Amino acid sequence: MHAPDGAQRPLNAASFRAHGYALIDWIADYRETLSSRDVNHATTPGAIRAQLSACAPETGEPFDAVMHDLDSILMPGITHWQHPGWFAYFPANSSYESILGELASAGLGVQGMLWSTSPACTELETHVLDWLVHALGLPAQFLSTNTGGGVLQDTASSAVLVAIVAARERATNFVSDAKGLAGANSALVAYSSDQSHSSIEKAMRIAGLGKDALRLIPCDATGSMRMDLLRARIAEDRASGYTPFFVNASIGTTGVNGFDDVGAISRLCCVQSSAKPIWLHVDAAMSGTAALCPEFRFVVEGTERADSWCFNPHKWMPVNFDCDAMFVADRSELVRALSVLPEYLRNAATDSGNVIDYRDWQIPLGRRFRALKLWFVLRSWGLVALRNLVREHVALAQDLAARVQSSSHLQLVVQPRLNLVCITHVEGDAATQALLERVNASGHSFVSHCRFGAANEGVDRYVLRVSIGALATKREHVEQLWNLLAIH
């Protein structure tokens, strides 16, 4: 009834089944044949668009025609993040289980903005995030059964933004919430290492605090924020009339996977008797997953007094993007900073105060059933298999690092503690960059770069990063990469 006679009709249950099976097969085939594809795309700006029709079709087209164009037009413009030779940036693992979780979520099509608009969506999320507190060895303040609790955000960028907003309001007694920062009469300043993620600066700017109010503290030779410099800067700022309100600790920086000393930072955040504690946020986006393994629990060390902590199951865990797990020590602070309750959302459950309404824990109002895919992965994999995945990648990275160390033409930038191997060529930046280009021209391996130089070195070097964390990556793929790196 949605189309005139003779025209293609939207899918019904029967045709959805047929095309659904075919798409499941398409995905399985894609994954099975990934290693035979070049990992990087082979397109130029505008080439994809040029093949698309100028306007949306007036009448519907057969679904097979759409799938045909997906294959012929779009696939050449895809960079294959699930490829076993994916060593660039960080992984974005999308396991079969999480694909099915995303599918189930789309099939149900529910909204979890309020507990009442689909209680299972809220309760599963709260519960599974409590599971993760236990599984990662996170401190008890992050449990929903205490004062805190977990929430799924899209990304660590959104997590740090809402953390900064809550911290800002704690620092101004919610004056900025009402009157804005121009009216709050506080010179708020935040701290993060100069190796920390760009999302910290972005969040400071979005939150109206400004880029200049973010003090980027230099790092030591391992990529860890220099505590002496942080301490000195906080003292200097206080002496100058600024109010330190927020510190971001990086657990696994993007560049070289440096780890800040969370325990030392938390003591600094709490030590000031004159003022409220400084909000301590921990960004463990990439490396948080490693805490599943007891031997890698250093990634959660010192977290006992952190106000918020997040990691991305959509990186290493492997739950498909987007899925950031954020934990707060005091949910009331976050909720107060983000809550607006218009009449059209009022309901008896909310009024009772006995339920969580996750809309008050995030920027958007609406939210899909994201916990489903996390639950699918945790149930179907189990913690043992997840730990083994982490261990395999770390072992591969450690082996690669040892080879680099024994090589005559390559150097390690830092000793890897987990799964990121950072390499320079002894002949300098141009040679390192040429090496990167050689790897990326191979088709079978794809790496990315950063610049890194410890504060005391005074110069940033061009660094080739080998991030070993893709679900499909096995020893043979690291061998292939090594064969390219080893050429003198």
Q: Which stretch binds its own copies (CB under 8 A): 223-231, 267-275, 344-352, 420-428?
A: 344-352
Indicate the residue among 45 and 458 with the shorter CB distance to its own copies. Answer: 45
Number of residues that bind its own copies (CB under 8 A): 171
Strands across the sheet containing 279-283: 149-153, 324-328, 308-311, 279-283, 243-250, 188-193, 214-217
Instruction: Identify residues 348-407 at the interface with its own copies (CB under 8 A).
Output: 349, 352, 354-355, 363-368, 372, 375-376, 378-385, 388-389, 392
Tell me the helix, strand and coil percentages in the chain, rounded to 5.
50, 15, 40
178 scored as a contact of its own copies (CB under 8 A): yes
Q: How far apart are CA 369 and CA 125, in angstroms?
A: 8
For residues 366 and 426, which CB has a smaller minimum distance to its own copies in the complex?
A: 366
**Distance (Å, whole) CA 307 – CA 248:** 10
Where are the strands (E) in 260-371, listed by range? 279-283, 308-311, 324-328
Q: Residue 204 or 400: which CB sits closer to its own copies? A: 204
Cβ closer to its own copies: 385 or 486? 385
Nearest to 21 by CA among 78, 69, 63: 63
For residue 89, what are its two tokens?
Answer: 């940036």
- Least Å distance between CB 263 and its own copies? 26
Interaction with its own copies in 221-280: which residues (CB under 8 A)? 254-255
Of residues 66 through 125, those in contact with its own copies by CB under 8 A are 66, 69-70, 73-82, 89, 92-100, 102-104, 106-111, 115-121, 123-124
Please state, in angstroms and as integers, the Cα–Cα distance from residue 217 to each residue in 104, 210, 233, 264, following that order: 44, 16, 8, 15
Q: Which of 337, 396, 413, 421 forms a contact with its own copies (CB under 8 A)?
A: 337
Q: Which is nearer to its own copies, 76 or 443 (CB)?
A: 76
Contacts to its own copies from residues 314-333, by CB under 8 A? 314, 320-322
Give 297 or 486: the residue with its C-beta nearer to its own copies. 297
Pattern 417-456, its own copies, x by CB under 8 A: -------------------------------xxxx-----
* Stretch of residues binding its own copies (CB under 8 A), selected from 218-226, 295-303, 343-351, 410-418: 343-351
Q: What span, in angstroms and rounded, lies between the C-alpha atoms of 469 and 232?
A: 37
Please report how close the Cβ of residue 271 comes to its own copies at its closest, in angstroms: 25
Q: Which of 6, 36, 55, 458 binds its own copies (CB under 8 A)?
A: 55
The two structure tokens encoding residue 304:
């006992």
Residues 465 and 448 sit within 8 Å (Cβ to Cβ): yes
Residues 6+ apart with CB under 8 A from 461: 413, 424, 428, 429, 432, 451, 452, 453
The answer to the question of residue 43 lying near its own copies (CB under 8 A) is: yes
